[in-house]
Amino acid sequence: MDGSGDQPLSIARRRFLRAGLTGGAALAGSLAAGRAAAADDPAITEIQDWNRYSGDGVDAHPYGMPSKFEAEVVRRNVPWLTADPISSVNFTPLHALDGIITPNGLCFERHHGGAAVIDPAEHRLMVNGLVDKPLVFTMDDLKRFPRHNKIYFLECAANTGMEWRGSQLNGCQFTHGMVHCVMYTGVLLKDILNEAGIKPAGKWVLAEGADAAAMTRSIPMEKALDDCMVAFAMNGEALRVEQGYPIRLVVPGFEGNMWVKWLRRLEVGDEPWEQREETSKYTDLLANGKARHFTWTMEVKSVITSPSPQAPIKHGKGPLVLAGLAWSGNGTITRVDVTTDGGRNWKTARIDGPSLPFALHRFYYEMDWDGSEMFLQSRAMDEKGYVQPTKQALRAVRGSNSIYHNNGIQTWYVNKDGAAENVEIS
Ligand code: MTE
Ligand code: CO
């Protein structure tokens, strides 16, 4: 990107070009995170209220909530992005979370007709179409199939979509927060389909939601018979209403749109529903006017969650932990590299915690910050050997018309005060 004006980067943030780079952060030999004891620090010298008085009893919080000091850690929407909150999205506060599991109450929500509130006793799942025996299941019926527990990420195809046209949103919650990762409990879609008996001509499974949008997507039979699940629990408890209570489809590694919530019907067919109806929403428009179709797999991606615009460095120079997330719809993440100087030098980060296929991976990079400005990036690689591309490389192939499937490398500019900003560099 040469700044000649023929590409759509955000002008306001163009001032951060390579010319402005200083040395970046050096790796230190000694990491000392502690501080010298201050004799007059009241946090040490005074007896605090919580130490003086007893706290709430065990009957105060039948369903526990986070500490009131975590009140800022919430899903947020961007009101100008959509016309109405009924058909909209809010974002997971990735900058404030750690590990690989997203707490249920913080999983981003994306729905087209609001969140349906369904009494599980009244809910039915119908299987029809090209099957030997059309069937209807109650929730109790579903729970008689063998159960499976799997940790998977769900990423909306539109995640990072605003960034196709340059740096737009200032915070990884907004640029990357249409992703969550929970442990699902449910039954295999193939067990349900096999009970109905798939006719030889059955090549697609149409999944339909019971919400006001009656959200509908087709799943290729090969995937349906592989690892798809009908889930009724997340992180050990019943699905949340926003996530499709009482059941949702789980389509590991595939775009979130296919994970139909409030699932009420599975119709086996010989062609995808998308071919019968107008569904241009879910294609990727290229520069030449053609569109990519059925781009289901979420390609390898990563982001540094801290520091980031909503999580600046507050402690000054010295030991600094870069934390981030990586994921791939092709399986596991095998490596994540990070750079503090906009890609001149890359170091391999440490993946910590479980490395599971189609799940978020947590990475850290411990460093000694010398207080100079940084251009932070992370670049993930997956088990199929795919490497996360730069945004420039992505645009060279896909143009910038699409809002879907942007897995380009993200840059945070960190100034000498530790504040971070969403930028693009050449
Ligand atoms: N299922 C129904 N029934 N209705 C919807 O609007 N939105 C889809 C998908 N399943 C949707 C749906 C989209 S676009 C995404 S990205 C995911 O659900 C979001 O899942 P979540 O709300 O659990 O994050
Ligand atoms: Co979506």
Q: What is the pLDDT of residues 229-281, one digit of tens each?
A: 999 999 999 999 999 999 999 999 999 999 999 999 999 999 988 777 555 45
Quick one: three-class SS letters along the chain?
CCCCCCCCCCHHHCCCCHHHCCCCCCCCCCCCCCCCCCCCCHHHHCCCHHHHCCCCCCCCCCCCCCCHHHCCCCCEECHHHCCCCCCEEEECCHHHCCCCCCCHHHCCCEECCCCCCCCHHHCCEEEEECECCCEEECHHHHCCCCEEEEEEEEECCCCCHHHHHCCCCCCHHHHHCCEEEEEEEEEEHHHHHHHHCECCCCCEEEEEECCCCCCEEEEEHHHHCCCCEEEEEECCEECCHHHCCCCEEECCCECHHHCCECEEEEEEECCCHHHCCCCHHHCEECCCCCEECCCCECCCEEEEEECECCECCCCCCEEEEEEEEEEECCECEEEEEEECECCCCCEECEECCCCCCCCCEEEEEEEEECCCCEEEEEEEEECCCCECCCHHHHHHHHCCCCCCCCCCCCEEEECCCCCEEEECCC
Strand order in the sheet with 88-91: 76-77, 88-91, 110-111
Compute the distance from residue 230 Cα to the ligand 2 centre, in Å: 18
More confident residue, 402 or 354: 354
Spatial distance between the Cα atoms of 325 and 288, rounded to a whole number of angstroms: 33
For residue 153, the model assigns a pLDDT of: 98
What is the average pLDDT value for the chain, to the nearest integer? Answer: 91
| Pick from 82-86, 128-132, 392-396: least confident | 82-86
395 touches ligand 1 (CB under 6 Å): no
Q: What is the reported pLDDT for 82?
A: 86
Report, as an integer, the average pLDDT of 335-347: 98
Average pLDDT over residues 20-36: 52
Q: Quick one: average pLDDT of 65-94?
A: 94
At position 144, the amino acid (one-letter code) is R
Q: Which of 80-94, 146-160, 188-202, 379-393 is predicted with the least confidence, judged by mean pLDDT?
A: 80-94
Q: What is the pLDDT of residue 277?
A: 58
- pLDDT at residue 179 tops 50: yes
Mean pLDDT across the stretch 151-167? 95
Across 79-108, average pLDDT = 94
pLDDT tens digits, residue range 284-339? 788 888 888 788 999 999 999 999 999 999 999 999 999 999 999 999 999 999 99
Q: Are 261 and 112 in contact (CB under 8 A)?
A: no
Ligand 1 contact via 183 beta carbon (within 6 Å): no
pLDDT at residue number 231: 99
For residue 331, the CA-to-ligand 1 centroid distance in Å is: 22
Query: Does residue 364 register a pLDDT over 60?
Result: yes
Residue with the bigger pLDDT between 292 and 50: it is 50
Q: What is the pLDDT of residue 315?
A: 92
| pLDDT for the residue 26 | 40
Name residue, tokens 């995937």.
223
Percent of the chain with pLDDT over 90: 79
- pLDDT at res. 279: 56
Q: Is the CB of 391 under 6 A from ligand 1?
A: no
Structural domain boundaries in the chain: 9-52
Please identify, by atom number, the ligand 1 atom nearest to the C-alpha of residue 157: 16
Q: Using most ligand atoms within 8 A of CB, pick from 248, 261, 283 the residue to mutate for ligand 1.
A: 261
Ligand 1 contact via 405 beta carbon (within 6 Å):
no
| Ligand 2 mean position, distance from CA 325 (Å) | 19
pTM confidence score: 0.91
Q: Is the pLDDT of residue 11 over 50?
A: no
> Tens of pLDDT along 180-215?
999 999 999 999 999 999 999 999 999 999 999 999
**Alpha carbon nearest to ligand 1 atom 22, residue:** 109
Tokens 């390579």 — which residue? Answer: 18
**Stretch 140-151: mean pLDDT, rounded?**
98
- pLDDT bin (cut points 50, 70, 90) of residue 25 is very low
Q: Is 215 in the pocket of ligand 1 (CB under 6 A)?
A: yes
pLDDT bin (cut points 50, 70, 90) of residue 34 is confident
The model's confidence at residue 23, banded by pLDDT at 50, 70 and 90, is very low
pLDDT (0 to 100) of residue 282: 67
